[in-house]
């Protein structure tokens, strides 16, 4: 990570990404749960399960726990109340990361030991990319606030190199963005998502 990334407080970016994703989750209809998504591993229901687990893992990382102690997908909530499950996970992760001392403390992320701010920036990117997946799959506007996305995109372009991808780097090769692509779409493209 660069000096700028190493001194940036990513919590406002993460908070904005979480709020945007929560709005998308709240808009999912029951008849959309089996739709495919740009993330080939997931239909909408499976993507929601992973989205719920993502802040749960980020909270575990902030508490100094093993991130792999939290499954990568949350169990299906009663009544398919994914919005309620996600809102609960969002509240919990915000509470954990309220302490600014966590930003400079080494934490164990799924990709290794890094300062807390680097882990949180990665979780911000994951939230935005999966939010884009969900928006595209359900026919919703797929661009988050550029003020949130642009610094995350810049950080990921520095932190996540174009090569190598695959294996220990669990991302597909970057996809060239289409003309006129917004920053959220470009972030998804950088993380290996093709625009449908």
**Residue 25 in domain:** yes
Q: Is residue 169 part of a domain?
A: no
Contact residues for 85 (Cβ-Cβ < 8 A; gap 6+):
52, 74, 77
Is residue 24 situated within a structural domain? yes
Asked if residue 185 belongs to a domain, the reply is: no
Q: Under a CB-based contact definition with an 8 Å cutoff, are residues 142 and 36 in contact?
A: no
Q: How far apart (Å, rounded) are the C-alpha atoms in residues 48 and 85?
A: 10
Confidence (pLDDT) at 167: 60
- Cα–chain-centroid distance for residue 52? 10
Structural domain of 78: 10-141
**Is 186 domain-assigned?**
no
Task: Supply the CATH number for residue 113's domain.
Answer: 1.20.120.450
pLDDT at position 159, please?
84
The arithmetic mean of pLDDT across residues 21-33, rounded, is 97
- pLDDT tens across 37-75, in order? 998 889 999 999 999 999 999 999 999 999 999 999 999
Residue 47 to residue 37: CA distance in whole angstroms: 8
User: Residue 153: inside a domain, yes or no?
Assistant: no
Which helix (H) or strand (E) is 123 found in, with range? helix 116-138
Nearest-CA neighbor of 6 among 106, 129, 130? 106
Q: What confidence tens digit (pLDDT) does each residue in 185-195 have? A: 999 999 989 99
The answer to the question of residue 86 being in a domain is: yes
Report which secondary-structure segment, H or E, holds 108: strand 106-109
- If one compares 4 and 161, the residue with the highest pLDDT of the two is 161
Report residue 2's pLDDT band, with 50, 70 and 90 as the boundaries. very low
pTM score, two decimals?
A: 0.92
Whether the predicted pLDDT of 5 surpasses 60: no
Total residue count of the chain as it appears in this document: 196
CB 98 within 8 A of CB 5: no
pLDDT at 4: 43
Asked whether residue 189 is domain-assigned, the answer is no
pLDDT in tens, 115-170: 999 999 999 999 999 999 999 999 999 999 999 999 999 999 988 777 766 665 56
Does the structure show a pLDDT above 50 at 1?
A: no
DSSP structure string for 15-52:
HHHHHHHHHHHHT--GGGTT-B-SSTT-BHHHHHHHHH
Tokens (6 digits) for 50: 């992973």
Q: How many domains does the chain have?
A: 1
CB-CB contact of 81 with 45 (8 Å): no
Q: Please tell me the predicted confidence (pLDDT) of residue 168.
A: 56
Q: What is the pLDDT of residues 69-112, one digit of tens each?
A: 999 999 999 999 999 999 999 999 999 999 999 999 999 998 88
The per-residue pLDDT for range 11-26, each reduced to its tens digit, is 999 999 999 999 999 9
Q: What is the pLDDT of residue 172?
A: 77
């Amino acid at each position: 990570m660069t000096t700028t990334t190493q001194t940036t407080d990513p919590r406002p970016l993460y908070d904005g990404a979480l709020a945007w994703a929560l709005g998308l989750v709240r808009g999912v209809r029951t008849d959309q749960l089996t739709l495919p998504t740009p993330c080939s591993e997931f239909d909408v229901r499976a993507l929601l399960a992973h989205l719920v687990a993502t802040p749960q893992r980020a909270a575990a990382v902030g508490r100094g726990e093993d991130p792999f102690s939290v499954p990568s997908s949350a169990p299906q909530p009663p009544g398919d109340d994914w919005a309620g499950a996600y809102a609960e996970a969002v509240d919990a992760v915000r509470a954990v990361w309220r302490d600014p001392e966590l930003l400079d403390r080494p934490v164990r992320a799924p990709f290794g030991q890094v300062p807390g701010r680097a882990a949180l920036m990665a979780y911000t990117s994951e939230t935005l990319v999966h939010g884009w997946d969900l928006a595209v799959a359900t026919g919703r506007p797929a661009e988050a606030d550029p003020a949130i996305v642009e610094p995350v995109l810049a950080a990921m372009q520095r932190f996540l190199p174009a090569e190598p991808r695959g294996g220990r780097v669990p991302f597909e090769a970057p996809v060239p963005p289409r003309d006129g692509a917004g920053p959220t779409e470009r972030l998804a493209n950088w993380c290996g998502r093709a625009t449908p």
